[in-house]
Amino acid sequence: MFPFNPFPFPYSNRVGIPLIESRSVTSDGTNAIITIANNTFARLADKGIILLRINTAIPTDAATLPIVISSNGETRPLTLAGGANATAAEITGIGIYQIFYNKRENVLQLMTVGGTAA
């Protein structure tokens, strides 16, 4: 239809930013685990931005543990911009956090530190 590309750069989230809610927040002694609904990533585009609402505070015994996101029995590490693992120090409590995801590269990168009012 267009003789040229009307979008000079790739867009993420053309229909809005999905809000995903945590189902539970636990610790296994090695990781702090934030569980989300099964098949959440199957319904998302290949890469983009999500908002993650954490409904339960991370257990105090997991304060220094790396955070992983669990769905369908699989876990993916939550990282910071430099690639280091995010810990409870970056997830300061109940709130909404902005995360960049890339399914092909298995990336979940925390974009905001500290939650917003829920």
Q: Say if 62 falls within a structural domain.
A: yes
What pLDDT shows up at residue 4? 55
Average pLDDT for the chain: 84
Q: What is the pTM of this model?
A: 0.82
Do 32 and 40 form a contact (C-beta atoms < 8 A)? Answer: no
Q: Say if 115 falls within a structural domain.
A: no
Q: Say if 9 falls within a structural domain.
A: no
Q: Say if 10 falls within a structural domain.
A: no
Strands 67-71, 107-110: pairing kind: unpaired
Q: Say if 2 falls within a structural domain.
A: no
Enclosing domain of residue 48: 19-110
Q: Give me the number of domains the chain comprises.
A: 1
Instruction: Report how far residue 82's alpha carbon sits from residue 90's, in angstroms, rounded to the nearest whole number.
Output: 14
Q: Say if 46 falls within a structural domain.
A: yes
Q: Quick one: average pLDDT of 17-29?
A: 91
What pLDDT shows up at residue 118? 42
Share above pLDDT 90 across residues of the chain, in percent, rounded to a whole number: 44
Hey, what are 66's tokens? Answer: 């790396």
Q: Which of residues 79 and 116 earns the better pLDDT score?
A: 79
What pLDDT shows up at residue 90? 86
